[in-house]
Amino acid sequence: MAGATVIRGIQGYGRSTRLHTVDVLFSEDLPAVVELIDTAAIVDAFRASLAGIEQIGLITREQVMVPVW
Predicted pLDDT of residue 15: 66
Predicted pLDDT of residue 30: 75
Taking only the tens place, the pLDDT of each residue in 41-55 is 999 999 899 888 887
Taking only the tens place, the pLDDT of each residue in 21-35 is 766 666 667 778 889
Backbone angles phi, psi at 49, to 5 degrees: -70, -15
Predicted pLDDT of residue 1: 85
Average pLDDT of 11-15? 73
Nearest C-alpha neighbor of 61 from the set 48, 10, 12: 48
pLDDT at 67 over 70: yes
Beta-strand ranges (E) seen in 1-69 are 3-8, 11-13, 19-21, 32-37
